[in-house]
Structure 1
Amino acid sequence: MKNELTVAENLEFWQSFLSSPGAAGLPVEDAAEAVGLSGITHLPFGYLSAGQQRRFAFAKLLVAHRPVWILDEPTAALDASADRLFAGLIEAHLAKGGIVLAATHQPLGLKNAQELKMTGFAGVDQGVWG
Protein backbone atom coordinates (compact mmCIF):
# COMPACT_ATOMS: atom_id res chain seq x y z
CA MET A 1 0.00 0.00 0.00
CA LYS A 2 1.29 3.43 -0.92
CA ASN A 3 1.10 6.04 1.86
CA GLU A 4 0.44 8.93 -0.54
CA LEU A 5 -2.62 7.31 -2.16
CA THR A 6 -6.00 7.20 -0.51
CA VAL A 7 -7.21 3.92 0.88
CA ALA A 8 -9.73 3.70 -1.98
CA GLU A 9 -7.03 4.33 -4.60
CA ASN A 10 -4.82 1.65 -3.06
CA LEU A 11 -7.62 -0.90 -2.94
CA GLU A 12 -8.79 -0.04 -6.47
CA PHE A 13 -5.24 -0.58 -7.73
CA TRP A 14 -4.98 -4.01 -6.10
CA GLN A 15 -8.46 -4.94 -7.26
CA SER A 16 -7.52 -4.10 -10.85
CA PHE A 17 -4.03 -5.62 -10.66
CA LEU A 18 -5.10 -8.91 -9.06
CA SER A 19 -8.43 -9.38 -10.85
CA SER A 20 -8.97 -12.61 -12.68
CA PRO A 21 -11.92 -13.64 -14.86
CA GLY A 22 -14.69 -15.41 -12.97
CA ALA A 23 -13.28 -14.64 -9.52
CA ALA A 24 -14.62 -11.26 -8.50
CA GLY A 25 -13.78 -9.75 -5.15
CA LEU A 26 -15.84 -7.31 -3.11
CA PRO A 27 -16.31 -3.68 -4.13
CA VAL A 28 -13.92 -1.35 -2.28
CA GLU A 29 -16.55 0.15 0.05
CA ASP A 30 -17.96 -3.29 0.87
CA ALA A 31 -14.46 -4.52 1.74
CA ALA A 32 -13.93 -1.44 3.94
CA GLU A 33 -17.22 -2.15 5.71
CA ALA A 34 -16.24 -5.81 6.16
CA VAL A 35 -13.12 -4.73 8.07
CA GLY A 36 -15.05 -2.21 10.16
CA LEU A 37 -13.66 0.93 8.54
CA SER A 38 -16.25 2.21 6.12
CA GLY A 39 -16.31 5.94 5.59
CA ILE A 40 -12.57 6.58 5.74
CA THR A 41 -11.46 5.28 2.34
CA HIS A 42 -10.98 8.90 1.20
CA LEU A 43 -8.05 9.35 3.62
CA PRO A 44 -4.44 8.85 2.55
CA PHE A 45 -3.25 5.43 3.67
CA GLY A 46 -0.29 7.03 5.48
CA TYR A 47 -2.66 8.92 7.83
CA LEU A 48 -4.03 5.72 9.32
CA SER A 49 -2.95 4.06 12.56
CA ALA A 50 -1.04 0.77 12.41
CA GLY A 51 -4.21 -1.12 13.34
CA GLN A 52 -6.26 0.62 10.64
CA GLN A 53 -3.55 -0.10 8.08
CA ARG A 54 -3.60 -3.75 9.08
CA ARG A 55 -7.39 -3.87 8.71
CA PHE A 56 -7.10 -2.43 5.22
CA ALA A 57 -4.52 -5.08 4.41
CA PHE A 58 -7.36 -7.53 5.09
CA ALA A 59 -9.59 -5.50 2.78
CA LYS A 60 -6.95 -5.98 0.08
CA LEU A 61 -7.56 -9.72 0.40
CA LEU A 62 -11.28 -9.14 -0.06
CA VAL A 63 -11.24 -6.87 -3.13
CA ALA A 64 -9.37 -9.39 -5.28
CA HIS A 65 -10.42 -12.98 -4.69
CA ARG A 66 -7.54 -15.34 -4.14
CA PRO A 67 -8.19 -18.95 -3.08
CA VAL A 68 -4.97 -19.18 -1.04
CA TRP A 69 -4.02 -16.58 1.57
CA ILE A 70 -0.41 -16.68 2.79
CA LEU A 71 -0.12 -14.42 5.83
CA ASP A 72 2.77 -13.38 8.06
CA GLU A 73 1.77 -12.15 11.52
CA PRO A 74 -1.69 -11.11 10.32
CA THR A 75 -2.89 -9.93 13.71
CA ALA A 76 0.11 -7.76 14.62
CA ALA A 77 -0.97 -4.26 15.76
CA LEU A 78 -4.58 -5.34 16.26
CA ASP A 79 -6.79 -5.11 19.33
CA ALA A 80 -8.98 -7.97 20.55
CA SER A 81 -12.05 -6.93 18.54
CA ALA A 82 -10.00 -6.75 15.33
CA ASP A 83 -8.55 -10.19 16.13
CA ARG A 84 -12.10 -11.57 16.27
CA LEU A 85 -13.06 -9.74 13.08
CA PHE A 86 -10.04 -11.22 11.31
CA ALA A 87 -10.87 -14.73 12.55
CA GLY A 88 -14.36 -14.25 11.09
CA LEU A 89 -12.91 -13.21 7.73
CA ILE A 90 -10.71 -16.30 7.69
CA GLU A 91 -13.62 -18.57 8.68
CA ALA A 92 -15.72 -17.10 5.83
CA HIS A 93 -12.84 -17.63 3.38
CA LEU A 94 -12.44 -21.23 4.51
CA ALA A 95 -16.20 -21.83 4.26
CA LYS A 96 -15.99 -20.85 0.57
CA GLY A 97 -13.27 -23.44 -0.02
CA GLY A 98 -10.31 -21.12 0.52
CA ILE A 99 -7.02 -22.02 2.16
CA VAL A 100 -5.05 -19.98 4.69
CA LEU A 101 -1.43 -20.48 5.65
CA ALA A 102 -0.41 -18.13 8.46
CA ALA A 103 2.81 -17.69 10.40
CA THR A 104 2.06 -16.24 13.81
CA HIS A 105 3.25 -16.11 17.41
CA GLN A 106 -0.27 -16.17 18.84
CA PRO A 107 -3.39 -18.26 18.25
CA LEU A 108 -5.75 -16.84 15.62
CA GLY A 109 -8.93 -18.08 17.30
CA LEU A 110 -9.87 -20.43 14.47
CA LYS A 111 -11.87 -23.62 14.73
CA ASN A 112 -10.28 -26.80 13.39
CA ALA A 113 -6.97 -25.11 12.58
CA GLN A 114 -3.95 -27.32 12.07
CA GLU A 115 -0.83 -26.07 13.81
CA LEU A 116 2.85 -26.67 13.31
CA LYS A 117 4.68 -25.35 16.35
CA MET A 118 8.32 -24.43 15.80
CA THR A 119 9.89 -24.96 19.22
CA GLY A 120 13.52 -25.46 18.35
CA PHE A 121 15.99 -26.54 15.75
CA ALA A 122 18.77 -29.10 15.57
CA GLY A 123 21.91 -27.70 17.15
CA VAL A 124 20.19 -25.16 19.42
CA ASP A 125 21.26 -27.03 22.56
CA GLN A 126 24.87 -27.19 21.37
CA GLY A 127 25.13 -23.44 20.69
CA VAL A 128 25.35 -23.86 16.92
CA TRP A 129 22.92 -20.99 16.32
CA GLY A 130 24.55 -18.34 18.45
Structure 2
Amino acid sequence: MTQGQVQHRINLKTQALACGRGDAVLVADLSLEVAAGSALLLRGPNGAGKSTLLLTLAGLLRPISGTLVFEGADPEAGPFIHHCGHKNAVRPRLTVLETLRFWADLNGSGPLPPAAALERVGLARTARVDAGYLSAGQQRRLVLARLLVSPRPVWLLDEPSAALDAAGRELMAALLVDHLESGGLAVIATHDDIALPGAATLTLGAEA
Protein backbone atom coordinates (compact mmCIF):
# COMPACT_ATOMS: atom_id res chain seq x y z
CA MET A 1 0.00 0.00 0.00
CA THR A 2 1.50 3.35 -1.01
CA GLN A 3 0.94 6.81 0.40
CA GLY A 4 -2.57 8.01 -0.36
CA GLN A 5 -4.07 4.51 -0.38
CA VAL A 6 -6.35 2.98 2.23
CA GLN A 7 -6.73 -0.69 3.07
CA HIS A 8 -10.46 -0.88 2.37
CA ARG A 9 -13.44 1.38 1.84
CA ILE A 10 -15.66 1.98 4.84
CA ASN A 11 -19.01 3.76 5.16
CA LEU A 12 -20.34 5.28 8.39
CA LYS A 13 -24.03 5.08 9.26
CA THR A 14 -25.88 6.10 12.42
CA GLN A 15 -29.56 5.77 13.23
CA ALA A 16 -31.24 7.72 16.05
CA LEU A 17 -27.86 7.96 17.77
CA ALA A 18 -27.68 9.68 21.15
CA CYS A 19 -24.43 10.34 22.97
CA GLY A 20 -23.22 12.32 25.93
CA ARG A 21 -21.20 12.25 29.13
CA GLY A 22 -22.65 11.05 32.39
CA ASP A 23 -26.33 11.98 32.53
CA ALA A 24 -25.92 14.82 30.03
CA VAL A 25 -27.17 14.02 26.52
CA LEU A 26 -25.28 16.29 24.14
CA VAL A 27 -26.30 14.80 20.79
CA ALA A 28 -29.68 13.15 20.26
CA ASP A 29 -31.57 11.43 17.44
CA LEU A 30 -28.66 11.70 15.01
CA SER A 31 -29.08 9.79 11.75
CA LEU A 32 -26.40 10.31 9.15
CA GLU A 33 -24.41 8.60 6.42
CA VAL A 34 -20.82 9.34 5.45
CA ALA A 35 -19.59 7.31 2.49
CA ALA A 36 -16.04 6.27 1.75
CA GLY A 37 -14.29 9.11 -0.03
CA SER A 38 -16.36 11.72 1.84
CA ALA A 39 -15.87 14.12 4.73
CA LEU A 40 -18.22 15.54 7.35
CA LEU A 41 -17.42 18.80 9.15
CA LEU A 42 -18.88 19.12 12.66
CA ARG A 43 -19.63 22.68 13.71
CA GLY A 44 -21.24 24.31 16.71
CA PRO A 45 -20.32 26.13 19.92
CA ASN A 46 -18.15 24.72 22.67
CA GLY A 47 -20.18 22.20 24.66
CA ALA A 48 -22.44 21.29 21.75
CA GLY A 49 -21.09 17.72 21.66
CA LYS A 50 -18.60 17.72 18.79
CA SER A 51 -15.78 16.07 20.75
CA THR A 52 -18.24 13.73 22.48
CA LEU A 53 -19.60 12.58 19.13
CA LEU A 54 -16.07 11.90 17.84
CA LEU A 55 -15.24 9.89 20.96
CA THR A 56 -18.44 7.89 20.48
CA LEU A 57 -17.66 7.22 16.83
CA ALA A 58 -14.16 6.13 17.86
CA GLY A 59 -15.60 3.63 20.34
CA LEU A 60 -14.13 5.45 23.34
CA LEU A 61 -17.59 6.35 24.70
CA ARG A 62 -20.64 4.11 24.62
CA PRO A 63 -23.69 5.44 22.75
CA ILE A 64 -26.63 6.23 25.03
CA SER A 65 -29.04 4.86 22.45
CA GLY A 66 -29.36 4.26 18.72
CA THR A 67 -27.05 2.45 16.35
CA LEU A 68 -23.60 3.16 14.96
CA VAL A 69 -22.10 1.05 12.16
CA PHE A 70 -18.93 1.24 10.08
CA GLU A 71 -19.96 -0.78 7.03
CA GLY A 72 -17.11 -2.63 5.38
CA ALA A 73 -14.92 -2.66 8.47
CA ASP A 74 -13.19 -5.91 9.33
CA PRO A 75 -12.10 -5.94 13.00
CA GLU A 76 -9.93 -9.00 12.35
CA ALA A 77 -7.89 -6.93 9.87
CA GLY A 78 -6.78 -4.64 12.70
CA PRO A 79 -7.64 -1.09 13.77
CA PHE A 80 -9.24 1.03 11.07
CA ILE A 81 -9.80 4.34 12.93
CA HIS A 82 -7.46 7.20 13.70
CA HIS A 83 -8.84 9.42 16.46
CA CYS A 84 -6.81 12.60 16.99
CA GLY A 85 -8.06 14.67 19.91
CA HIS A 86 -7.46 18.35 20.51
CA LYS A 87 -4.39 17.51 22.63
CA ASN A 88 -1.22 16.53 20.79
CA ALA A 89 -0.05 13.76 23.17
CA VAL A 90 3.60 14.63 22.55
CA ARG A 91 6.31 13.28 24.86
CA PRO A 92 8.58 16.30 25.39
CA ARG A 93 11.84 14.39 26.00
CA LEU A 94 11.62 12.26 22.86
CA THR A 95 12.95 13.74 19.65
CA VAL A 96 10.51 14.45 16.86
CA LEU A 97 11.67 11.38 14.94
CA GLU A 98 11.58 9.18 18.05
CA THR A 99 8.04 10.40 18.75
CA LEU A 100 6.86 9.43 15.30
CA ARG A 101 8.63 6.06 15.47
CA PHE A 102 6.93 5.44 18.83
CA TRP A 103 3.53 6.14 17.29
CA ALA A 104 4.33 3.91 14.32
CA ASP A 105 5.31 1.06 16.64
CA LEU A 106 2.14 1.59 18.67
CA ASN A 107 -0.34 2.01 15.79
CA GLY A 108 1.34 -0.11 13.12
CA SER A 109 3.50 1.18 10.31
CA GLY A 110 2.76 1.58 6.62
CA PRO A 111 4.91 2.08 3.54
CA LEU A 112 5.81 5.68 4.35
CA PRO A 113 8.73 5.73 6.82
CA PRO A 114 8.77 8.29 9.65
CA ALA A 115 11.52 10.38 8.09
CA ALA A 116 9.53 10.71 4.86
CA ALA A 117 6.37 11.61 6.78
CA LEU A 118 8.26 14.38 8.59
CA GLU A 119 9.44 15.68 5.23
CA ARG A 120 5.85 15.66 3.98
CA VAL A 121 4.62 17.79 6.87
CA GLY A 122 7.57 20.18 6.84
CA LEU A 123 9.34 18.94 9.97
CA ALA A 124 12.40 17.23 8.48
CA ARG A 125 14.79 19.84 9.92
CA THR A 126 13.45 19.27 13.43
CA ALA A 127 13.79 15.46 13.38
CA ARG A 128 16.49 15.40 16.09
CA VAL A 129 14.98 18.17 18.22
CA ASP A 130 13.15 17.22 21.42
CA ALA A 131 9.43 17.36 20.65
CA GLY A 132 8.84 19.52 23.72
CA TYR A 133 10.69 22.37 22.03
CA LEU A 134 8.33 22.48 19.06
CA SER A 135 5.86 25.32 18.75
CA ALA A 136 2.17 24.52 19.09
CA GLY A 137 1.78 24.64 15.31
CA GLN A 138 4.76 22.32 14.77
CA GLN A 139 3.36 19.85 17.28
CA ARG A 140 0.11 19.84 15.33
CA ARG A 141 2.07 19.08 12.15
CA LEU A 142 3.65 16.16 14.02
CA VAL A 143 0.16 14.84 14.76
CA LEU A 144 -0.61 15.02 11.04
CA ALA A 145 2.52 12.96 10.36
CA ARG A 146 1.09 10.27 12.66
CA LEU A 147 -1.79 9.84 10.22
CA LEU A 148 0.67 9.19 7.41
CA VAL A 149 2.95 6.60 9.02
CA SER A 150 0.05 4.39 10.12
CA PRO A 151 -2.55 4.48 7.31
CA ARG A 152 -6.13 3.85 8.38
CA PRO A 153 -9.34 4.36 6.37
CA VAL A 154 -11.25 6.42 8.96
CA TRP A 155 -9.95 9.72 10.36
CA LEU A 156 -11.78 11.31 13.30
CA LEU A 157 -10.12 14.69 13.88
CA ASP A 158 -10.84 17.14 16.70
CA GLU A 159 -9.81 20.70 15.80
CA PRO A 160 -6.94 19.55 13.54
CA SER A 161 -6.18 23.10 12.38
CA ALA A 162 -5.74 24.48 15.91
CA ALA A 163 -2.48 26.49 16.17
CA LEU A 164 -1.67 25.97 12.49
CA ASP A 165 -0.66 28.97 10.40
CA ALA A 166 -1.94 29.51 6.85
CA ALA A 167 0.67 27.19 5.35
CA GLY A 168 -0.15 24.54 7.94
CA ARG A 169 -3.86 24.75 7.15
CA GLU A 170 -3.10 24.34 3.45
CA LEU A 171 -0.99 21.28 4.25
CA MET A 172 -3.75 19.77 6.38
CA ALA A 173 -6.33 20.34 3.63
CA ALA A 174 -4.02 18.73 1.06
CA LEU A 175 -3.54 15.65 3.26
CA LEU A 176 -7.29 15.38 3.73
CA VAL A 177 -7.95 15.67 0.00
CA ASP A 178 -5.39 12.92 -0.66
CA HIS A 179 -7.00 10.71 1.99
CA LEU A 180 -10.49 11.18 0.55
CA GLU A 181 -9.39 10.68 -3.04
CA SER A 182 -7.92 7.34 -2.02
CA GLY A 183 -11.27 6.23 -0.58
CA GLY A 184 -10.77 7.28 3.01
CA LEU A 185 -13.43 8.81 5.25
CA ALA A 186 -13.07 11.77 7.62
CA VAL A 187 -15.21 13.36 10.33
CA ILE A 188 -13.74 16.64 11.53
CA ALA A 189 -14.78 18.85 14.44
CA THR A 190 -13.70 22.39 13.70
CA HIS A 191 -14.32 26.06 14.38
CA ASP A 192 -12.17 27.02 11.39
CA ASP A 193 -12.90 27.20 7.70
CA ILE A 194 -11.26 24.17 6.09
CA ALA A 195 -10.77 24.22 2.33
CA LEU A 196 -12.26 20.81 1.61
CA PRO A 197 -14.43 20.87 -1.53
CA GLY A 198 -17.55 18.72 -1.33
CA ALA A 199 -17.45 18.20 2.43
CA ALA A 200 -20.85 18.05 4.14
CA THR A 201 -21.49 20.10 7.28
CA LEU A 202 -23.39 19.15 10.42
CA THR A 203 -24.07 21.91 12.95
CA LEU A 204 -24.71 20.64 16.43
CA GLY A 205 -26.99 22.41 18.87
CA ALA A 206 -26.52 25.20 21.35
CA GLU A 207 -24.10 24.90 24.21
CA ALA A 208 -25.30 22.50 26.87
Q: Same-fold call, TM > 0.5?
A: yes
**SS of structure 2 residue aligned to 1:42:** coil
**Letter of the 1:19 counterpart:** G
**CA RMSD of superposed structures (Å):** 1.4
User: 1:29, CA displacement in angstroms?
Assistant: 1.1
6, 9, 14: which is aligned to 2:103? Answer: 14
Whole-angstrom distance in 2 between the partners of 1:5 and 1:119: 40
Aligned length: 119
Q: 4+ residue stretches of structure 1 with deviation over 4 A?
A: none
SS in 1 for 2:124: coil
Q: Which residue identity does 1:64 align to in structure 2?
A: S
Q: In structure 2, the residue corresponding to 1:115 is in which secondary structure?
A: strand
Secondary structure of the equivalent of 1:70?
strand
2:152 counterpart (43, 46, 66): 66
Structure 1 partner of 2:46:
none
User: Within 1, Cα distance between the matches of 2:180 and 2:111?
Assistant: 15
Q: Which amino acid aligns with 1:120?
A: A
1:40 and 2:129 correspond: no
- Alignment of 1:120 onto 2:203: no
Paired residue for 1:92, among 168, 171, 178? 178
**TM-score with structure 2 setting the length:** 0.55
Q: Which structure is higher in strand share?
A: 2
Q: Deviations over 1:56-84 (max 9, x none)?
A: 01001111111111110000001111101
Does the 8 A contact of 1:87 with 1:109 survive in 2?
A: yes
Deviations 1:34-65 (A, max 9, x none): 11121211111001000000000100111111
Amino acid aligned to 1:6: T
Greater relative contact order (Cα 8 A, min sep 6): structure 1 or 2?
Answer: 2
Structure 1 100/25 Cα, relative in aligned 2: closer, same or farther at 3 Å? farther
Gaps of 5+ in 1: 122-128
Q: Which has the higher helix share?
A: 1
**Percent identity of the aligned residues?**
46
- Gap regions ≥5 residues in structure 2: 1-89
